[in-house]
Structure 1
Amino acid sequence: MNEPQGALKPPPAGFAPNPSRGKFTLHNGPTYRASARGDIRTGMWVLDRHCNGMGFLHGGMASAFSDSALAWAVWSATGRMSVTIKLTLEFMDIVPEGTWLEAHPEVTAIDGDLVHVRARLVKSDGHIAARADAVFRSLRRRAT
């Protein structure tokens, strides 16, 4: 695999590396989190390994990125680890290799252990690439 310059580019100002949460994340990253207090955006450079044969972001990678960003929003709102119950994506536009992509998540409801959350995946040009909608079950154990 030849990784483009995106693999070497730092994230935009206001983002810091996202600590890995396991082998899957290590392989599919790197991802970045907004560093300002209360800002729960997650970002990534779309690299060659994230793309399908046509050279743009693979739907499975978009789903994995969304899932991670939404889980971060749930943790930020509840202080609890969680598992995905439902995740749906509506794809709006292609995301070419080398594009900076951000997830802009929002928790919409908390009903006991169920947390409803959604996000827009926004390209660096401001266009919405996808919308994600999910339900997570928060675990009783608090995250450390």
Structure 2
Amino acid sequence: MTHTSTHFDDVAMTAAENIPEGFRSVKLGGPFISHNGPLYAKWSGQRLLLGFRVEERHSNPLKVCHGGMLATFADMLIPCAAMYQGEMERRFLPTISLQIDYMGAAALGAWVQGEAEVLRTTRNMLFGQGLVTADGQAALRVSGIFKMGQLIGDGTATDPLGLK
């Protein structure tokens, strides 16, 4: 049996080939993100940028990115940014609270990109916020609180995604 190209295959191939310069595919977040990604990251020299191209499988019936996919992306954004900010040990950061303000849509084929900052850390929690755009237009404002979980490895990885 031979595989014939479908519209989904064409959209997926186009999306994978159309990633902004400097972004690399990254493996993070376990099987759920692997299944729902791919996610791409870039180190700007000061901040981690995280992004993905909206594929048909990410979309709702109106051909815009499903809010659940955007929420998943937002949930990854702040912990990923934390890996590259400050001097904190690298830890698993389970979500305690996540607030999302949906400000705009991300159409099929749009490049969704986010950047976040850590606002404060305590012994037990991390507080952060971020902004997500779709093709350069504001799409989400996000803030969250994350639990300081167990160390990942020995906690000393300064470039866990290999971006620097």
How does the TM-score come out when normalised to structure 2? Answer: 0.79
Alpha-carbon distance between aligned partners in 1 of 2:16 and 2:82, rounded to the nearest angstrom: 30
Aligned to 1:116: 127
Q: Is contact 2:127–2:146 with CA below 8 Å preserved after alignment?
A: yes
Question: Which of 144, 147, 153 is the aligned partner of 1:134?
Answer: 144
73-82 or 93-102, which deviates more: 73-82
Aligned to 1:57: 65
Alpha-carbon distance between aligned partners in 1 of 2:72 and 2:127, rounded to the nearest angstrom: 17
Pair 1:100 & 2:111 matched: yes
Question: Which of 21, 30, 40 is the aligned partner of 2:38?
Answer: 30
Change (3 A) 1:61 1:93: same
Aligned to 2:8: 2
Change (3 A) 1:139 1:16: same
Post-superposition offset of 1:21: 3.4
Structure in which a larger fraction of residues adopt strand:
1
Q: Deviations over 1:57-102 (max 9, x none)?
A: 1111001011111111223332222111001110001110100010
Alpha-carbon distance between aligned partners in 2 of 1:42 and 1:136, rounded to the nearest angstrom: 18
> Structure 1 vs Structure 2: percent identity of aligned residues?
25
Q: Is contact 2:100–2:141 with CA below 8 Å preserved after alignment?
A: yes
Question: Unmatched 5+ residue regions in structure 1?
Answer: none
- Code of the residue aligned with 1:138 in structure 2: it is M
User: After TM superposition, which residue ranges in structure 1, 4 or more long, deviate above 4 angstroms?
Assistant: none
Alpha-carbon distance between aligned partners in 2 of 1:137 and 1:74, rounded to the nearest angstrom: 12
Question: Unmatched 5+ residue regions in structure 2?
Answer: 1-6, 155-164
**Structure number with bigger Rg:** 2
May I ask how many residue pairs the two structures share in their alignment? 143
